[in-house]
Amino acid sequence: MQNHRARWAAIGAAVAVSIGAGGLITFASASGGAASSFTPITPCRLLDTRGGGLATGATPPRAAALGQGEAITIPARGDFGKCVGLSSTDTGAVLNVTIVNPSAGSFLTVWPADKDKPLASSLNWVAGQGATPNQVTTALDPSGQFNIFNNGGTVDVIIDVVGLYEPAGSGGGGGVGPQGPQGSQGAQGSLGPVGPIGPQGPAGLMTAAIPAPSPSGQFPSMVLDATGNPVISHYDGTHLWLLLTHCNDPACGGGGDVTNVVDNTGDEGQYSSLALDASGNPVISYYDATFGNLRLAHCNDPNCAGGDETINAVATTTNNDGEFSSLALDSNGMPVISYYDTFATTLRLVHCNNANCSGVQTIQTPDPSPNDIGEYTSLALDGNGLPIISYFDATSHSIAVAHCDLPDCGGNLVQINPVVVSTPSIVEQDSDLVLDGNGLPVISFLNTAGVAVAHCADSDCTTANIRPLDTTPGAKSFTSIALDGAGLPAVSYFSGVAGPLKLAKCTAADCSTSVAAVVDSQSTNGQYTSMALDRNGNPVISSYDADVADDNLVITHCVDPFCNPHLIRVITG
């Protein structure tokens, strides 16, 4: 798997909120940003667009499905739909939003009626999907209204209101008084039974900070540890150091995250690729730009703390030998690394003879072609420990796959097949490879036409089913792929248009249907993406924000498989 590839924000279409003293909430879109408090109500139906629905709702009254690109306005005060006596002063509402009978894949956006429609969604679906609900929290405009928008096809919408937000002082002007002195601690009670897990509430806007030696974030490579917490190797382009960040929770926001310098002996850390050994300690391959060599660092603890890691030069035979590294550990914990020899313009592979890659190593050339081959390497080991490598052939403008017949790729029966070949005007590149449950390669790649996935029909990739995922205008780059428990691919990538960090999620195993969505609309974030899926199949994405004022590592933790909503965390210096 190719891995050479966080400001907290709740990215949802509804509302941004912040938690204040006394559990009060400030709505960013409420008049004056005044604090509001939540009041649950007996659920009632504001809107049902089905012809035989129980409430028509909307302004004007509505009893027909929403069309493509259509928006309607809905009051959430007074008597409306099947709701009676809703507050005349509410500033926000908690809604259960359900879509029914969708004719095409689309999304729904909910937002305050006095604001511009945001570039985000509140609910996503595919054509023919069954009734699908989601809980949405939205602010209201000064007259108590909100909007809904359907992006494509036709769809019926049902909206029930289950709670309202009221101005904090509306109950008599008392507001929140000063905090009293803390009482003495009482005796600890007995432990009660564990209750059921409740539904996830709406995401809020939160901030946090962890120390890092400097602004840094290039070439991140990310894996999840045994508890699902991100571990990321990355390059500090200011000090020219290799760094490692180990988060203390799945979203890198609960405090206790650490960032340590792994190698600062020269210009170290570009094109890093990360794996964890059996003890959870990071093993990192990377490029030494000072001497033009491939290096390997094997940390002696999960955080690479102490500055006493084992570091060895792996490939030292030529200059500029070690870019685009991709690393995996075999069943004995020995590193296997594919990389690009810039001097010889060829693909190389080393299967280390010990866990630290110390001493003299045997380096092989899996593809003896005279072409310029080996950039954008991505490596996985099959069930027999044999390397399967995807890489870029710059001469023939193709993505190729090499399946070795020996663990060190030293045999004479290496199977080499071009997966996709294009004319010089459409250069196929930037491959990332994973193996499905049957050991078949699944490869994401990019070209001037967009983002695509190739699903190989056999382990040698003699033939492949190729599907486009995103053909919107603009060159794209930096792809990373992962498969969920059902074998459905998800691909993160950098887009050259508005909303540069994007995610494409296949809704069929062959990617014949898929949904592409903006993850972060900030124009500079999304380079060098590296993605993994958490235990619920939700994407966790590391990326680089190239803004001159930022130059940061960014972690995005998605709350659902389509990355809506999601939390964005910037790891700053």
Instruction: Quote the CA–CA distance of 268 and 233 in Å, as a whole number.
Output: 12
CA 400 distance to own-chain centroid: 26
Q: Tens of pLDDT along 67-81?
A: 998 999 889 898 888
Tokens 């960013």 correspond to 28
Structural domains of the chain, ranges and CATH numbers in brackets: 17-167 (2.60.120), 218-571 (2.120.10.10)
Q: Which residues lie below 8 Å from residue 420, measured CB to CB, with a gap of 6+?
A: 398, 399, 428, 445, 452, 454, 464, 466
pLDDT band at 211 (very low <50, low <70, confident <90, very high): very low
Overall pTM > 0.75: no
- Looking at the predicted structure, is the pLDDT value of residue 146 above 70? yes
Strands (E) located in 172-292: 218-224, 230-236, 241-246, 258-263, 268-276, 282-288
pLDDT band at 28 (very low <50, low <70, confident <90, very high): very low
d(CA 432, CA 540): 16
Tell me the helix, strand and coil percentages in the chain, rounded to 5: 0, 50, 50
Whether omega for the bond prior to residue 211 falls within 30 degrees of 0, making it cis, is: no
CA separation for the pair 99, 49 (Å, rounded) = 10
The per-residue pLDDT for range 453-465, each reduced to its tens digit, is: 999 999 999 999 9
What are 487-508's pLDDT values in tens digits?
A: 999 999 888 665 688 899 999 9
Quick one: DSSP state of residue 484? -
Cα of first residue to Cα of last residue in the chain, in angstroms, is 29
**List of residues 6+ apart from 406 with CB closer than 8 A:** 386
Q: Which residue has the tokens 């990310």?
A: 222
- Residue 92's H or E segment, with its range, is strand 92-100
The answer to whether 284 touches 268, Cβ cutoff 8 Å, is: no
The per-residue pLDDT for 209 is 32
CA dist., res. 569 & res. 541, Å (int): 10
DSSP 23: G
Structural tokens at position 2: 């190719």
Res. 272: pLDDT tops 90: yes
Record the tokens describing residue 54, joined without a space.
Answer: 């129980």
> Of 474, 530, 465, 532, whose CA–CA distance to 499 is shortest?
474
Between CA 289 and CA 321 the distance in angstroms is 9
Give the up-direction half-sphere exposure of residue 130: CA atoms within 13 A in the CB hemisphere.
Answer: 0
Residue type, 427: V
DSSP notation for 57-91: -TBTT--S-B-TT-EEEEE-SEEETTEEEE-SS--
CA distance 542 to 396: 31
Residue 84 CA: distances (Å) to CA of 16, 41, 76, 80:
27, 11, 10, 7
Q: What is the pLDDT of residue 183?
A: 56
CB 457 within 8 A of CB 500: no
Q: Is the pLDDT of residue 11 over 70?
A: no
Least confident of 15-19, 69-73, 135-139, 352-356: 15-19
Give the model's pLDDT for residue 78.
87
What is the rounded (10 degree) CA torsion for 394, 495, 522, 519?
-120
Q: Is 305 helix (H, G, I), strand (E, B) or coil?
A: helix
Residue linked to tokens 């196929």: 428
At residue 252, does pLDDT exceed 80?
A: yes
Give the strand order in the sheet containing 282-288.
268-276, 282-288, 293-298, 310-315
Q: Tokens at residue 192, please?
A: 């009660």
Q: Which two tokens stand for residue 542?
A: 């590391």
Strand duo 552-558 + 566-571: pairing: antiparallel
Say which DSSP state 68 is in.
T
Omega before residue 60 within 30° of 0, cis: yes
For 473, residues 6+ apart whose C-beta sits below 8 A from its C-beta are 497
Q: How many other C-beta atoms are found inside a 10 Å radius of the C-beta of residue 246?
A: 23
User: Rg of the chain over CA atoms, in angstroms?
Assistant: 26
8 Å CB contact between 396 and 418? yes
* 334: enclosing H helix or E strand: none
Confidence of residue 166 (pLDDT cuts 50, 70, 90): confident
User: pLDDT per residue over 149-162, tens digit each?
Assistant: 999 999 999 999 98
Q: What is the dihedral of CA 138, 177, 206, 140, to 10 degrees?
A: 10
Residue 56, token pair as written in the block: 């028509």
State the greatest distance between any 2 C-alpha atoms of the chain, in Å, as a whole number.
85
Identify the DSSP state of 121. Answer: -
pLDDT, one tens digit per residue, over 306-334 is 889 999 999 876 567 889 999 999 999 99
The Cα 108–Cα 155 span in angstroms is 10
Chain center to CA of 396: 32
- Of 37, 35, 28, the C-alpha closest to 9 is 28
| pLDDT grade for 34, boundaries at 50, 70 and 90 | low
